[in-house]
């Protein structure tokens, strides 16, 4: 076991060293690499292309064939660019990132935190959602990201390293309830990506998303109720290549005061608006409606 840990540590440090070295390259070069990656993924390999086309076509039934394929193509272009930006951000100074990411209505979080409540900030895989790793730099509050640990120990350590660069603290999804209920150091912000397909279907959490009957994770709302939190939505859009705007939108100030399912319904509606504003920006490769 000890030898295995040593090998994992060596592998992790090697991968991180390579990634850091790549991050020192000019952004223009990294975008050129992204363009080549797009060419391979879209034209040669066709990475999950059938899934992407089906997801978009079913989500926008009124769109013509040409409109669907234009969204598909732009999605692959943006998707490849996101990876280039993630690599670059490994070494990009905070001052430089601060010019690329605009936050609106962050004072809403201050308002809830100052009232003594935890804040659940839910979002979808819109735009380059990894840019949210920068949000602790903009706030004085403790910020946690709820995540599902990866099977690969090396990649899991790398993910934690990259996402915690600006002070983000990561909590495994299975530990978040215990953490919120036992935390005594004051209110904090918890980030949830809640737009993936849940393993368990709950009829109370079935809604219409992009013209399709969709089951949604109930955990975010249930945790909000148990933890007596405020809930907001983080609306992410791309202003230009590498530049993003993130808007804090209120969902509820007191989770236990609204009817069951209402928080999740509001989240689904806000997610749909976010996707419709930039249909090429969502993670269409995910088999969202596989169940």
Per-residue pLDDT of the chain (291 residues; tens, 9 = 90+): 688 888 888 999 999 999 999 999 999 999 999 999 999 999 999 999 999 999 999 999 999 999 999 999 999 999 999 999 999 999 999 999 999 999 999 999 999 999 999 999 999 999 999 999 999 999 989 999 999 898 899 999 999 999 999 999 999 988 888 888 887 767 999 999 999 888 888 889 999 999 999 999 998 999 999 888 999 999 999 999 999 999 999 999 999 889 999 999 999 999 999 999 999 999 999 988 876
Cβ contact 209:272 at 8 Å: yes
State the chain's maximal CA–CA distance in angstroms.
58
What are the start-end ranges of the H helices in 89-144? 94-98, 107-114, 135-138
The residues that bridge with 171 in the sheet, in sequence order, are 146
Token representation of residue 83 = 């990876």
Residue with tokens 């279907």: 201
Cβ contact 249:291 at 8 Å: no
pLDDT at residue 2, rounded to an integer: 81
Collapse the DSSP code of 233 into the 3-class scheme (helix H, G, I; strand E, B; otherwise coil) and give the result.
strand
Residue 205 CA, chain-centre distance (Å), reads 21
pTM for the complete prediction? 0.94
> Which residues have CB under 8 Å from 282's CB, separation 6+?
75, 124, 125, 126, 274, 275
pLDDT at residue 1, rounded to an integer: 60
Residue with tokens 């079935």: 206
The residues that bridge with 184 in the sheet, in sequence order, are none
pLDDT at residue 257, rounded to an integer: 87
């Amino acid at each position: 076991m000890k030898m295995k840990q040593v090998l994992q540590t060596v592998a992790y440090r090697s991968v991180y060293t390579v990634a850091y070295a790549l991050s020192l390259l000019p952004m223009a070069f990294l975008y050129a690499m992204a363009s080549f990656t797009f060419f391979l993924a879209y034209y040669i390999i066709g990475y999950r292309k059938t899934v992407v086309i089906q997801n978009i076509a079913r989500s926008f039934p009124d769109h013509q064939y040409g409109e669907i394929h234009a969204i598909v193509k732009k999605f692959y272009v943006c998707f490849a660019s996101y990876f280039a930006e993630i690599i670059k951000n490994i070494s990009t100074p905070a001052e430089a990132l601060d010019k690329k990411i605009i936050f609106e209505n962050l004072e809403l979080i201050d308002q809830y935190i100052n009232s003594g409540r935890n804040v659940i900030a839910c979002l979808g895989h819109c735009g380059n959602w990894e840019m949210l790793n920068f949000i602790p730099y903009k706030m004085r509050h403790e910020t946690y990201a709820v995540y599902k640990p990866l099977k690969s120990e090396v990649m899991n350590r790398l993910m934690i390293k990259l996402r915690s660069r600006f002070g983000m603290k990561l909590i495994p999804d299975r530990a978040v309830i215990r953490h919120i209920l036992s935390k005594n150091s004051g209110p904090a912000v918890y980030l949830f990506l809640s737009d993936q397909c849940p393993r368990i279907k709950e009829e109370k959490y079935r809604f219409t998303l992009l013209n399709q009957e969709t089951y949604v994770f109930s955990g975010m709302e249930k945790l909000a109720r148990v933890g007596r939190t405020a809930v907001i939505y983080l609306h992410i859009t791309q202003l230009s290549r590498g530049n993003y705007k993130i808007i804090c939108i209120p969902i509820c100030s007191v989770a236990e005061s609204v009817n069951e399912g209402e928080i999740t319904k509001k989240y689904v509606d806000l997610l749909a608006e976010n996707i419709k504003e930039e249909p090429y920006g969502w993670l269409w490769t995910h088999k969202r409606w596989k169940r």
